[in-house]
């Protein structure tokens, strides 16, 4: 093989190797880039994982004997359990779907985003399953004008609950309203009593602090006066000691002078 052929062969081999490296790098980039569908799916999964799951704060139940009252949208009754207490309520706007021949059933549900009893009554309309709710599965999700959510489902097999065009109307019974109002008045009175007690405690604490400060001030004044008297007493004692020393020294001089005088005679 001459030098020209050797050089040509080397050039060809180098170009092949270079093309292989470029292709490998391009394939890595292609693998690293996600398709738009994969990106959307990943974002949706991330959003679903980070979405806050609401937990129920109350329960509702409709007894079998009450269900006959709500067929055709007339008012029936139910029980709300909230904050450790039970409250009777009236509802209307539910109707039967499948198994239209049924006349009795039981329905249960969970309540979400309820912070005060005043927000429970209202008109509940059906919402789609875009809200993440914990505490149970199935049923239909309803929401009222106060933002309270309720997931309600029938427990009788083959029976489906439907919501009327105007939604489900819920209100407390008259007797329950009166009891709730009385509970609220008692709670307000209790809060006022707590506030008054706290105010009295604060005043006592302030008076105690003032008394302590005044006592401390008086004690400091007495201590200062006692210190001044002690200083005066110390000065008077020093003066008395100095005077006594001077008198003793003078007496000693007089005695010595008298002795010397007696000797000279």
Q: Please give the Cα distance from 187 to 189 (Å, whole number).
A: 5
Mean pLDDT across the chain: 75
Q: How confident is the model at residue 9 (pLDDT cuts 50, 70, 90)?
A: low
Q: Quick one: DSSP state of residue 163? A: E
Residue 74's pLDDT is what? 47
Q: Please give the Cα distance from 90 to 169 (Å, whole number).
A: 8
- 256 three-class SS: helix
In this prediction, residues 47-64 reach a mean pLDDT of 74
In this prediction, residues 198-221 reach a mean pLDDT of 89
Residue 202's pLDDT is what? 92
pLDDT above 60: residue 262: yes
Q: Are residues 19 and 38 both part of a single domain?
A: yes
- 195 three-class SS: helix
Q: Are residues 214 and 253 both part of a single domain?
A: yes
Q: Are residues 189 and 156 both part of a single domain?
A: no
**Which of 137, 172, 207 is the last residue before a domain boundary?**
172
Q: Are residues 36 and 66 both part of a single domain?
A: no
Lowest mean pLDDT: which of 29-38, 107-116, 208-217?
29-38
Residue 15's pLDDT is what? 55
Lowest mean pLDDT: which of 13-17, 78-82, 109-113?
13-17
Whether the Cβ atoms of residue 108 and residue 102 lie closer than 8 Å to each other: no
Whether the Cβ atoms of residue 74 and residue 92 lie closer than 8 Å to each other: yes
Tell me the chain's radius of gyration from C-alpha atoms.
49
Cα–Cα distances (Å) from 46 to 29, 50, 133, 137, in that order, read: 24, 6, 17, 22
Count of domains for the chain: 3
pLDDT digits (tens, 9 = 90+) for 152-207: 887 766 566 777 777 888 999 888 888 888 888 888 888 999 998 999 999 998 88
Q: Are residues 140 and 114 both part of a single domain?
A: yes
Residue 214's pLDDT is what? 85
Q: Are residues 226 and 165 both part of a single domain?
A: no
Whether the Cβ atoms of residue 162 and residue 95 lie closer than 8 Å to each other: yes
Alpha carbon distance, N-terminus to C-terminus of the chain: 158
Full-model pTM: 0.51
Q: Are residues 166 and 222 both part of a single domain?
A: no
Q: Please give the Cα distance from 52 to 55 (Å, whole number).
A: 9
In this prediction, residues 12-29 reach a mean pLDDT of 51
In this prediction, residues 51-70 reach a mean pLDDT of 71
Residue 115's pLDDT is what? 94
Domain assignment of residue 167, given as a range: 58-172
Q: Are residues 154 and 203 both part of a single domain?
A: no
Cα–Cα distances (Å) from 29 to 25, 35, 109, 168, in that order, read: 6, 12, 52, 56
List the alpha helices (DSSP H) in 153-173. none
- 51 three-class SS: coil
Q: Are residues 68 and 165 both part of a single domain?
A: yes
């Amino acid at each position: 093989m001459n030098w020209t052929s050797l050089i040509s062969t080397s050039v060809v081999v180098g170009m092949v190797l270079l093309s292989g490296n470029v292709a490998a790098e391009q394939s890595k980039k292609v693998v690293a880039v996600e398709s738009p569908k994969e990106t959307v799916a990943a974002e949706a999964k991330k959003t679903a994982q980070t979405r806050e799951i609401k937990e129920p704060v109350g329960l509702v139940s409709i007894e079998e004997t009450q269900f006959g009252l709500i067929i055709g949208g007339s008012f029936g009754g139910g029980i709300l359990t909230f904050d450790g207490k039970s409250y009777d309520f009236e509802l209307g706007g539910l109707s039967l779907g499948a198994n239209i021949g049924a006349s009795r059933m039981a329905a249960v549900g969970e309540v979400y985003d309820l912070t005060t009893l005043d927000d429970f009554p209202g008109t509940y309309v059906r919402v789609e399953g875009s809200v993440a709710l914990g505490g149970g599965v199935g049923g239909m999700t309803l929401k009222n004008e106060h933002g309270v959510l309720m997931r309600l489902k029938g427990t009788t097999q083959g029976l489906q609950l439907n919501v009327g065009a105007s939604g489900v109307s819920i209100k407390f019974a008259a007797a329950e309203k009166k009891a709730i109002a009385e509970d609220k008045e008692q709670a307000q009175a209790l809060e006022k009593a707590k506030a008054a007690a706290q105010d009295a405690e604060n005043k006592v604490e302030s008076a105690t602090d003032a008394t302590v400060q005044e006592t401390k001030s008086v004690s400091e004044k007495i201590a200062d006066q006692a210190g001044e008297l002690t200083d005066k007493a110390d000065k008077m004692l020093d003066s008395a000691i100095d005077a006594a020393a001077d008198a003793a020294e003078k007496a000693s001089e007089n005695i010595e002078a008298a002795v010397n005088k007696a000797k000279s005679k």
